[in-house]
Amino acid sequence: MTTINPTVNAARAGFARGREEIRQTFTNSQDLWNYLFPTVIFLVVMFFMRDATVPGTEFSLGSRTLPSVVGMGIAFGGLVTTMMSLAIEREDGTLLRAKAIPTGMFGYLVGKIVTVAGMTLAAQVLVIVPSLFLLDGVQLNSFYAWFTLAWVLALGLIATLPIGAVFGSLFSNPRNSGLIMLPIMGLVAISGIFYPISSFPEWLQGLAQVFPIYWLGLGMRSAMLPDGLSAVEIGESWRHLETVGVLGAWAVAGLVVAPMVLRRMARRESGSSIAERRDRAMQRVT
Amino acid sequence: MAVVDETGVPAQDVRPEAEDAVLDVRDLRMRYGTTDVLKGVSFTAHPGEVLVLLGPNGAGKTTTIEILEGFRMRSAGEVRVLGVDPAHGDETWRADLGVVLQSWRDHGNWRVRDLLQQFGRYYAPYSNDRITKPWDTDELVEAVGLTEHAGKKVRRLSGGQRRRLDVAIGIVGRPRLLFLDEPTAGFDPEARRDFHDLVHRLSDSNTTILLTTHDLDEAEKLADRIMILAGGTIIADGSADELARRMSTESEIKWTVDGRRFVHSTLDATAFVRELFVEHGETLGDLEVRRASLEDTYMSMVKQFESGAAEAAVREFTAVTR
């Protein structure tokens, strides 16, 4: 018998876990609806925005919104999906099961990354493909465009996923984690997703540029829109260097903090802590 | 017989060598804030033994088992699980343990067979020349009686089926030591019987099992050895027969004298009855001597314990079993 490295083995099992979870999402009407519903809304919004123009240009505001929405979608996938599923799976005991199995926690995390990344990707495809038929001016016809899209997507996920995991570990009650949706929605409003922010007060612009949502939107616009449109962005440029800088900083911070927070959370999991949460949840139901 | 006094030191039993003990717990203590939950728990378990930790709710059974599983830090005491301190157990150690958790609604979208397959994969690197891990999925599904439901989603299972799945997940890695915390809570009688069969089959294959319950009947059916945990210590330790014999020393005696009825409880029924005959002779009638069962004694202890008179209950119980 050949010896198998337990860590490599767990990574493979984690991949299988993630694949299975993605398959389950696509065969579950409830989950599928959760992904399709916002997509439909965005498509309708963008469709009605197609005749409005980006201020100072002739370019369709709807077409400008598409890449921004994709950038926001990546941030949401990394932050919110990760956070919610960690909080829920802590409460229902999924994490404790992983803890009771050798290398199970590592496999669980690999599985979570595969699931979140896979579903985020799928959700963006769901937005992009129909938009290409509905909207004019979106250009995804060069290698450079796809290359930019790929690296912004990858870096965006690395920047947001660990942060989502940190928030997910901090909330012991998944319903409380909904609270964090308010500031995130606020960030969306000031991050230039649906309207350019170059006309906003400078302090608001500055605030938006601290967080990943703005940079993900900008990065995706740089991938999908004609070069001339960089003129309406802050600094009249796509600012790739700054995009890498800010998203990279979030990625590093997340990758340093997340393992610590996750380990601390995992240490505290036990049968009785699950039972306690179950009882509390039952009380909420009745 | 392994009577244990209040300091947790065995009075008669010779403690076996730690090396061949699957579990070796000495003077385990646990304190939450200012409350002492465990005040010096000591016991050992040998390969293939089924140990039942019996005690009223809140006696510290779950705390004990969670410390042994490595899920909870202890305040003090020496603990060896498969020769390793559970506070520092690595993944190889974990691969020899089985923990049966209570499922609630986790993995609801998974199919039974897929889920067991997924969890089994993690054990593959820990196979050795004695044992191949994990347990074959189809054999395992059959062993827990879920063959008909193997393709079902977990959330479509009934409570009893779900519990069997929990056990299957606990044993998928063919553990040397299996922990079960209140395994049959909420079972109907049939599910309970099936579960007991499964436990017997596992112990036949030399798996050591530690399970907790507050149900004496269950403890008697399953245990090679029962340990009664109350007031933070193990107040009795022995086979069901040993405990029953020891506790049945308390008897209830009923009699009549000239048509008037009397009742008395005593530890030495024979001497008391001899006295009765000497005193009343021919006027004595309707004599009835009934030994209190293990259950009577245990139940009265639990009742007192739960009404808050924990210390008194334990004292009384210990006196009776001495």
Domain-embedded: residue B4: no
In a domain, B9, yes or no: no
Q: Do B98 and B226 share a structural domain?
A: yes
- For the segment B166-187, what is each residue's pLDDT rounded down to a tens digit? 999 999 999 999 999 888 776 7
- Partners of A278 on chain B (C-beta within 8 Å) are 104
Under 8 Å CB pairs connecting chains A and B tally to 91
Can you spell out the DSSP letters for B254-267?
EEEETTEEEEEEES
Containing structural domain, residue A199: 6-285
Strand partners, B180: B100, B211
The mean pLDDT value of chain A amounts to 90
Is pLDDT at B10 greater than 60 in this prediction?
A: no
- Does residue B265 share a domain with residue B235? no
Concatenate the DSSP letters of all residues of B186-241 into one string. T--HHHHHHHHHHHHHHHHTT-EEEEEES-HHHHHHH-SEEEEEETTEEEEEE-HH
Measure the CA dihedral A227/A230/A231/A234, to 10°.
-170
The set of residues, in sequence order, having a beta carbon less than 8 Å from that of A85 and lying 6+ positions away, is A112, A115, A116, A168
Inform me whether the pLDDT recorded for B306 exceeds 70.
no
Residues 6+ apart with CB under 8 A from A176: none
Chain B positions touching A102 (Cβ under 8 A) are: 91-92, 94-95, 122-123, 126, 173
In chain A, the number of structural domains is 1
Which amino acid does the sequence have at B278? V
Among B244, B276, B303, identify where a domain stops: B244
Contact criterion met (CB < 8 Å) for A102 and B102: no
pLDDT at A244 over 60: yes
B240 and B254 fall within a common domain: no
Q: How confident is the model at residue B319 (pLDDT cuts 50, 70, 90)?
A: low
How close, in Å, is residue A270 to chain B by CA atoms? 6
Which positions ≥6 away from A255 have C-beta within 8 Å? A158, A162
Closest listed residue to residue A89, CA positions, set A11, A22, A29, A171: A171
Tell me how far apart the alpha carbons of residues A212 and A209 are, in angstroms, rounded to a whole number. 7
B168 and B281 in a single domain? The answer is no
Distance CA A190, CA A207 (A): 8
The answer to whether the CB of B313 falls within 8 A of the CB of B232 is: no
Domain assignment of residue A1, yes or no: no
Give the tens place of pLDDT for each residue, B18-67.
Answer: 457 899 999 999 998 888 999 999 999 999 999 999 988 778 898 999 99
CA nearest neighbour of B101 among A172, A87, A269, A21:
A269
Residue A76 lies in a domain: yes
Tokens standing for B257?
């004298």
Looking at the structure, do residues B271 and B235 belong to the same domain, yes or no?
Answer: no
Specify the DSSP element, H or E, that contains B54: strand B50-54
**8 Å CB contact between B176 and B82:** yes
Please indicate, yes or no, if residue A116 is contained in any of the structural domains.
yes
Tell me, yes or no, whether B7 lies in a domain: no
Structure confidence by residue, pLDDT tens digits, A144-160: 999 999 999 999 999 99
Distance of residue B22 Cα from the nearest chain A Cα, in angstroms: 18
Q: How far apart are CA B19 and CA B16, in angstroms?
A: 8
Name the band, by pLDDT with cuts 50, 70 and 90, for residue B9.
Answer: very low
Does a structural domain hold residue A212?
yes
B219 and B257 in a single domain? The answer is no
DSSP per position, A180-237: GHHHHHHHHHHTTSSS--TTS-HHHHHHHTTSHHHHHHHHHHHHHS-GGGGGGSGGGS
Domain assignment present for A165: yes
Instruction: At A210, list the tokens.
Output: 């601290």
Strands B251-257 and B284-291: antiparallel
Matching residue, tokens 């076996």: B16
- Interface check for A270 against chain B (CB to CB < 8 A): the answer is yes
Q: Quick check: A269 and B71 CB within 8 A?
A: yes
Q: What is the pLDDT of residues A69-114, one digit of tens each?
A: 999 999 999 999 999 999 889 888 899 999 999 999 999 999 999 9
Whether residue A109 lies inside any domain: the answer is yes
Q: In what order do the strands lie in the sheet with B23-32?
A: B35-45, B23-32, B76-81
- B275 to A75, B195, B272, B280: CA distances (angstroms): 88, 49, 5, 8
Under an 8 A CB cutoff, do B181 and A271 touch?
Answer: yes
Give B63 to chain A, closest Cα distance, Å: 8
The residues facing B23 across adjacent strands are B45, B81
Collapse the DSSP code of A138 into the 3-class scheme (helix H, G, I; strand E, B; otherwise coil) and give the result. coil
Q: Is residue B218 within 8 Å of residue B186, measured between CB atoms?
A: no
Asked if the model's pLDDT at residue A254 lies above 90, the reply is yes
Distances B117 to B110, B120, B158, B169, B302 between C-alpha atoms, Å: 11, 5, 21, 10, 42
Three-class DSSP category at B279? helix
Is A151 part of a structural domain of the chain? yes
B155 in the same domain as B32: yes
Q: What is the DSSP string of B95-157?
A: TTEEEEPPPSSTTTTSBHHHHHHHHHHTTGGG--SS--SS--HHHHHHHTT-GGGTTSBGGGS
Q: Are strands B97-100 and B177-181 parallel, antiparallel or unpaired?
A: parallel
Q: Hey, are the CB atoms on B91 and A102 less than 8 Å from each other? A: yes
A20 touches B at CB < 8 Å? yes
CATH number of the domain to which B114 belongs: 3.40.50.300
Q: Which residues of A, range 235-254, sit inside 8 Å of B by Cβ?
A: none
B191 phi, psi to nearest 5 deg? -60, -35
B244, B266, B288: which is the final residue of a domain? B244
- Say yes or no for a CB contact (<8 Å) between B101 and A12: no
Which tens digit of pLDDT belongs to each residue from A165-192?
999 988 877 777 778 888 899 999 999 9
Distance, CA of A211 to chain centre: 13
Look at phi and psi of residue B83 and say left if phi exceeds 0, alpha if psi is from -120 to 50, else beta. left
Q: Which residue of B has its CA nearest to A17?
A: B118
Residue A89 maps to a domain: yes
Interface contact flag, B123 A100, Cβ < 8 Å: no
At residue B50, the 3 state secondary structure works out as strand
Pair A110, A17: CB distance under 8 Å? yes
Task: Tell whether the model's pLDDT for residue B246 goes beyond 80.
Answer: no
Domain extent at residue B257: 247-321
- How does the average pLDDT of chain B come out, rounded? 84
Asked, for residue B6, whether it belongs to a domain, the answer is no
Residues B98 and B115 placed together within one structural domain of the fold: yes
- Asked whether residue B284 is assigned to any structural domain, the reply reads yes
Interface contact B124-A4, CB threshold 8 A: yes
Same domain flag for B208 and B105: yes
Q: Smallest Cβ distance to A272: which of B66, B118, B125?
A: B66
Rounded distance between C-alpha atoms, residue B181 and residue B246, angstroms: 27
If you average pLDDT over residues B250-257, what whole number do you get? 86
Q: Are residues B168 and B210 in the same domain?
A: yes
Q: How far apart are CA B287 and CA B254, in angstroms?
A: 6
The number of distinct structural domains making up chain B is 2
Q: Which of B65, B99, B105 sits opposite A100 (nearest CB)?
A: B99
φ and ψ of B263, to 5 deg: -135, 140
CA B175, CA B178: separation in Å to the nearest integer? 6
Contact B8, B41 (CB under 8 A): yes
Distance from CA of A100 to the nearest CA of B (A): 6
pLDDT for the residue numbered B318: 64
Tell whether B288 and B141 lie within a shared domain.
no
CA within 13 Å, CB half, B105: 9
Measure A88 CA to nearest chain B CA, in Å.
Answer: 9
Q: B124 and B258 in one domain?
A: no
The count of C-alpha atoms lying within 13 angstroms of the C-alpha of B311, restricted to the half-sphere facing its C-beta, is 1
Q: Which of B72, B119, B125 sits opposite A9 (nearest CB)?
A: B125
Q: What is the C-alpha separation between B256 and B284, in angstroms, rounded?
A: 6
Domain ends where: B178, B213, B244? Answer: B244
Q: In degrees rounded to 5, what are phi and psi of residue B84?
A: -125, 145
